[in-house]
Amino acid sequence: MPKVYLSPSVQEHNVGVGDYGTEEQRMQVIGALVETYLRANGFDVRRNRPEMSLKDIIIDSNRYQPDAHVAIHSNAGGGEGTEAWYYPGSEQGRKLAQAVYDEVAPLSPGKDRGLKTSSVFAELRSTVAPAVILEVGFHDNPADAAWIMSQPRQIAKAIARGICRYFGKAFKDPDTPAPAKPGGGSGTPGKGVVYRVQIGAFKNRANAEALAAKARKAGFEVWIDAVQS
């Protein structure tokens, strides 16, 4: 069973354009979804926590000894599109970056930026596993930010597909209903079927965040989707 460490951004002070909120908020939502998809595909997954520092994350990843370390970020600086970074000279890092980039980049609205190398970024330099830093898009670009806000599930699924591709595994989409059996059956409960429970819908995001906080405190994994009403 491949082991993957997911490291969605913990940069709580990076604020995006319009209603984007922070990089940490958006990437943690995507990271939680990626975890769900990977677990549904038979991966062993560990994910960072928002309160962690970068140093904490690297220590946590290295203790876990994953087969891949995947950092998920949104970018800033006035550009557009997706890019993926790996450590120079790391062939497995390059393959991981390429596999994830190839799935995410075609979905982004901007002109994509390709693969890049860095020996400076700590999550590439100091992690023991092959690592990628994926910059999904630019949160200070209105088109990129709107896409990230509206398509967290699509983005997460693309990241999970890329990780599966890196490990040579066919991606199985748990969101796809099981084919109906002859006679009208919908498949055996618990096999190939995922049941999701929604516990609230709000016009005011603050109310949604308040209920989400209560659910997290009770031990449930929670994410908030913004849906056009």
Report how far residue 229's alpha carbon sits from residue 218's, in angstroms, rounded to the nearest whole number: 28
180 pLDDT band (50/70/90 cuts)?
low
Per-residue model confidence as pLDDT tens digits over 57-87: 999 999 999 999 999 999 999 999 999 999 9
Residue range 134-155: mean pLDDT, rounded: 97
Beta strand pairing call for 83-86 and 131-138? antiparallel
With a pLDDT cut of 70, the percent of the chain lying above it is 78
User: What is the per-residue pLDDT across 24-58, written as a single tens digit (0 to 9) for each?
Assistant: 999 999 999 999 999 999 999 999 999 999 999 99
Q: What is the pLDDT of residues 153-165, one digit of tens each?
A: 999 999 999 999 9
Average the pLDDT over 184-209 and give the result. 60
Q: SS3 string of the chain?
A: CCEEEEEECCCCCCECCCCCCEHHHHHHHHHHHHHHHHHHCCCEEEECCCCCCHHHHHHHHHHHCCCEEEEEEEECCCCCCCEEEECCCCHHHHHHHHHHHHHHHHHCCCCCCEEEECCCCHHHHCCCCCEEEEEEEECCCHHHHHHHHHCHHHHHHHHHHHHHHHCCCCCCCCCCCCCCECCCECCCCCCCCCCCCCCCCCCCHHHHHHHHHHHHHCCCCCCCCCCCC
Distance, in Å, from the CA atom of 18 to the CA atom of 32, rounded to the nearest integer, reads 23
Read off the pLDDT band of 211 (50, 70, 90).
confident
> Is the pLDDT at 10 greater than 80, yes or no?
yes
For residue 185, is pLDDT > 60? Answer: no
CATH no. of 3-166: 3.40.630.40
Query: The dihedral of CA 79, 140, 51, 167: what is its sign?
Result: negative
The domain locations on the chain are 3-166, 195-229
Q: pTM to 2 decimals?
A: 0.78
Q: Which residues pair with 86 in a beta bridge?
A: 117
Confidence of residue 205 (pLDDT cuts 50, 70, 90): low
